[in-house]
Amino acid sequence: MKIRSIETFSGPEVAFVKVTAEDGAIGWGQVAPYHADITALVLHRQVAPWVLGCDVHCDLDDLMDLVGEREHKFPGSHLRRAMGGFDTALWDLRGRLAGKPVVELLGGKPTTLRAYASSMKRDITPADEAERFKRLRGEQGFDAFKFRVGAEVGRNADEWPGRTEEIIPTIRRALSDGVDLLADANSCYSPARAIEVGRLMEAHGMVHYEEPCPYWELEQTRQVTQALDMDVAGGEQDCEFSVWKQIIRDRTVDIVQPDVLYLGGIARSMRLASMAAAAGMPVTPHAANRSMVTIFTMHYLAAIPNAGKYLELSIEGEDYYPWERGLFLTDPYRVEDGHVRISDEPGWGIEISPEWLDKATYQSSRVDA
Ligand SMILES: [Mg+2]
């Protein structure tokens, strides 16, 4: 049975993808968020020509390679982001056909997952961040939290002078020893400064240090990983296997952190998990908002043997992510005791709001049966 059409429903931040097979079976997915309307255009222009007419049960990983080969003049992010939309819609269709959640098609079971509460904010004071974390621990039972250090791609600058030196002990004091603390530097530091900040984190028992140096400077990141005892994590931006091979071969990081959609979908993410597993490295994916990407990541984490300790779950609301409003009919990210639950419904187990779809920009590509 062949795929006959690809439809997209786009806004500037998020775009959903619907695939339809010859017999009318459908599946829903999503391209990577941000400039999603541009990515949707890439999907129709540069992905659809190579994937329309494929069999529903084709070798998707190989088909995605083929798209990269056909579009070899356009390596990089937008192509992979667009491929992720097709891939995730096809997995949903396969799940619906089989009457199984995607996690089962990937070899896992719908289960609960430990989540870490992930802050996206740098403009928040250390005291306010500590208060927020304490409240979330009380209300939702989180026992792992990530906060931001340095300035984003900050050339060693802090968000304001002294914030990093203040937030590390402030958060530690506010939360008891049993709580895992993670930090993200978003490509801020030179190796020397990154190691200095890392030592301060180690002194406060922190466990995960994300993207300490400009992420494209693999050698800089590797220096930090080698110098520190705590785990260094990274890779969310990396969408080409040529780079991932280097990261894994050189142990650039301790924990690999792909984004399922930036990388190009579930099939490619499964391949990456295998590459990391062969090297004995855990996978703690990047999933920084409450669009569908975190649902995809939940199914993925429950299916791979080398899943890291937790799911990333954004704690930001509509003040930070106004575009998350009204995407779904139900909330797939309810937290109980610090855990989220994977739906056991077929496919991704989520319904996109028809009202949201009605307001989106519509485009379609199709082939005749
Ligand atoms: Mg990050």
Tell me what pLDDT residue 176 has. Answer: 82
Kindly give the distance from the C-alpha atom of residue 211 to the centroid of ligand 1, in angstroms, as a whole number: 6
Question: H-helix or E-strand containing 16?
Answer: strand 15-21
Q: Are residues 250 and 113 part of one domain?
A: yes
Kindly give the distance from the C-alpha atom of residue 141 to the centroid of ligand 1, in angstroms, as a whole number: 23
Q: Is residue 130 part of a domain?
A: yes
Q: Is residue 349 part of a domain?
A: no
**Residues with C-beta atoms within 5 A of ion ligand 1:** 184, 210
Q: Are residues 207 and 307 part of one domain?
A: yes
Provide the 10 A C-beta neighbour count for residue 265: 29
Q: Are residues 190 and 229 part of one domain?
A: yes
Q: Is residue 156 part of a domain?
A: yes
Q: Residue 315: name the closest of 125, 185, 136 by CA.
A: 136
Average per-residue pLDDT for the chain: 97
- Taking only the tens place, the pLDDT of each residue in 238-297 is 999 999 999 999 999 999 999 999 999 999 999 999 999 999 999 999 999 999 999 999
Q: Is residue 297 part of a domain?
A: yes
Kindly give the distance from the C-alpha atom of residue 244 to the centroid of ligand 1, in angstroms, as a whole number: 16
| 246/116 Cα distance (integer angstroms) | 28
Q: Are residues 83 and 112 part of one domain?
A: no
Q: Are residues 117 and 248 part of one domain?
A: yes
Number of domains in the chain: 2
Kindly give the distance from the C-alpha atom of residue 113 to the centroid of ligand 1, in angstroms, as a whole number: 20
| 224/131 Cα distance (integer angstroms) | 30
Taking the whole predicted model, whether its pTM rises above 0.85 is answered as: yes
* pLDDT range class, residue 369, cuts 50, 70, 90: low
Domain limits at 23? Answer: 2-99+354-366
Kindly give the distance from the C-alpha atom of residue 233 to the centroid of ligand 1, in angstroms, as a whole number: 9
pLDDT of 234 > 70? The answer is yes
Tell me what pLDDT residue 197 has. Answer: 98
Q: Is residue 196 part of a domain?
A: yes
Q: Is residue 346 part of a domain?
A: no
Q: Are residues 138 and 93 part of one domain?
A: no
pLDDT of 301 > 60? The answer is yes
Kindly give the distance from the C-alpha atom of residue 125 to the centroid of ligand 1, in angstroms, as a whole number: 19
Provide the b/e sequence for 102-122 (b: ≥16 CB within 10 Å): bbbbbebebeebbbbbbbbbb
Kindly give the distance from the C-alpha atom of residue 342 to the centroid of ligand 1, in angstroms, as a whole number: 23
pLDDT of 177 > 90? The answer is no
Q: Are residues 182 and 67 part of one domain?
A: no
- Taking only the tens place, the pLDDT of each residue in 98-120 is 999 999 999 999 999 999 999 99
Kindly give the distance from the C-alpha atom of residue 186 to the centroid of ligand 1, in angstroms, as a whole number: 6
What CATH number corresponds to the domain at position 36?
3.30.390.10
Kindly give the distance from the C-alpha atom of residue 56 to the centroid of ligand 1, in angstroms, as a whole number: 34
